[in-house]
Structure 1
Amino acid sequence: MSQLPLINGQRHSWSSIEVNFLDRIVTGITSINYDDSEVKENHYGAGNMPVHRGRGRYEANASLTLYNYEVEAIQASLPRGKRMQDVPPFDVKISFLEDGSNEIVTHVIRNCEFKTNNRNMSQGDTKIEVSLDLIVSHIEWN
């Protein structure tokens, strides 16, 4: 199996991640967080060990942090009077080079919508970052 050589001991890092949503690669992104979970529970019967396991609700979560100019560009593309929360559902694609492989891995966060729109600025800030929570349906892990 062919492997790419390590450069300075690294195979991938933040600089090798590409985030694409709303039909473009986003360069003004400083953070993306996503996870999913499923309720799993042991069910007990006779004795002190579980006799089977139940599965419940699936839930996915995501958020991203963008520079203010990215958020303002999204807002400027909306019809007058519309908010970030009015942006129709979109997918977020995150691609990177997986450790030990020469293949690109892509995770897709499906059916995203913005839940929040806020600004936090303080004296001495040299940049304005906007943290946005998303509601999502599910995550495709490659």
Structure 2
Amino acid sequence: MSHLPLINGQRHSWSSIEVNLLDRIVTGITSISYDDTEMKENHYGAGNMPVHRGRGKYEANASMTLYNYEVEAIQAALPRGQRLMDSPPFDVKVSFLDESNAIITHVIRNCEFKSNNRNMSQGDTKIEVSIDLIVSHIEWN
């Protein structure tokens, strides 16, 4: 790994991210957030220090903000009469370049939309839609 200073101080930026949703590159995305956690706790026995550690359930979360036209395109691709929340499970691939120009890809697995909403106000110049996803797990490259 090179420890040379970064050119222009840049490593990762939004401009190096590409999001693939339902087998197409999504251009009308303004944010994506995803994380996973696993319950862990210390177990105590003799003395005042833990004697072992227990692990519990795994949980992954994701959300994204899309422009309205992207959400409407997804909705239009569904069979007539289906809601956004009725779409079949899909994967979301988030790719970006690392400092060596290698492509890093995170895959958010088995996503489904949990909501469909619109919030608009006088003076808005764009319509953004924030959507929470239910996911099974995240593959971190």
Q: Distance in 2 between matches of 1:66 and 1:7?
A: 31
Q: Distance in 2 between matches of 1:46 and 1:137?
A: 38
Output the amino acid matched with 1:90.
Answer: F
Which residue of the partner structure matches residue 61 of structure 1?
Answer: 61
Whether the 8 Å CA contact 1:2–1:102 is kept in 2: the answer is no
TM-score (structure 1 length as normaliser): 0.93
Which residue of the partner structure matches residue 44 of structure 2?
Answer: 44
Aligned residues: percent identity?
A: 86
Q: CA RMSD in A?
A: 1.8
Which residue of the partner structure matches residue 141 of structure 1?
Answer: 140
Q: How far apart are residue 2 of structure 1 and its match?
A: 7.9
1:108 aligns with 2:107: yes
Q: Distance in 2 between matches of 1:97 and 1:59?
A: 27
Which residue of the partner structure matches residue 84 of structure 1?
Answer: 84
Q: Distance in 2 between matches of 1:21 and 1:123?
A: 30
Aligned to 1:35, the other structure's residue is in SS state: strand
Output the amino acid matched with 2:128.
Answer: E
Whether the 8 Å CA contact 1:93–1:107 is kept in 2: the answer is yes
Aligned to 1:71, the other structure's residue is in SS state: helix
Q: Distance in 2 between matches of 1:42 and 1:123?
A: 52
Runs of 4 or more consecutive aligned structure 1 residues displaced over 4 Å after TM superposition: none
Q: Distance in 1 between matches of 2:96 and 2:42?
A: 36
TM-score (structure 2 length as normaliser): 0.94
Q: Distance in 1 between matches of 2:39 and 2:58?
A: 7
Aligned to 2:72, the other structure's residue is in SS state: helix
Aligned to 1:8, the other structure's residue is in SS state: helix
Aligned length, in residue pairs: 141
Q: How far apart are residue 131 of structure 1 and its match?
A: 0.4
Q: Distance in 1 between matches of 2:7 and 2:13?
A: 11
Aligned to 2:122, the other structure's residue is in SS state: coil
Output the amino acid matched with 1:47.
Answer: G
Output the amino acid matched with 1:104.
Answer: I
**Unmatched tracts of structure 1, length 5 or more:** none
